[in-house]
Amino acid sequence: MISDGVNGAPALTEADLGIAIGAGTEVVIQAGGIILVKNNIYDAVIALRKQ
């Protein structure tokens, strides 16, 4: 699950892997397992390839 808004926070906590976009709200950043620093969704692909 990838999210940047408050509505996505519950799904991030329940997902097998939660990715928060760093430009999002503090709630989402706290809920994400991976936080993308830049506001670029393609960084999620790069992060997953490095694991």
pLDDT of the residue at 30? 84
Q: Residue 36: which H helix or E strand, with range?
A: strand 34-36
What is the spatial distance between Cα 35 and Cα 18, in angstroms, rounded to a whole number? 9
Residue 20's DSSP bridge partners are 3, 35
The β-bridge relationship of strands 34-36 and 2-3 is unpaired
pLDDT in tens, 1-51: 888 887 888 888 899 988 888 776 788 888 888 888 888 889 889 888 876
What is the spatial distance between Cα 7 and Cα 13, in angstroms, rounded to a whole number? 12
Q: Return the half-sphere exposure (C-beta side, CA atoms, 13 A cut-off) of residue 22.
A: 9
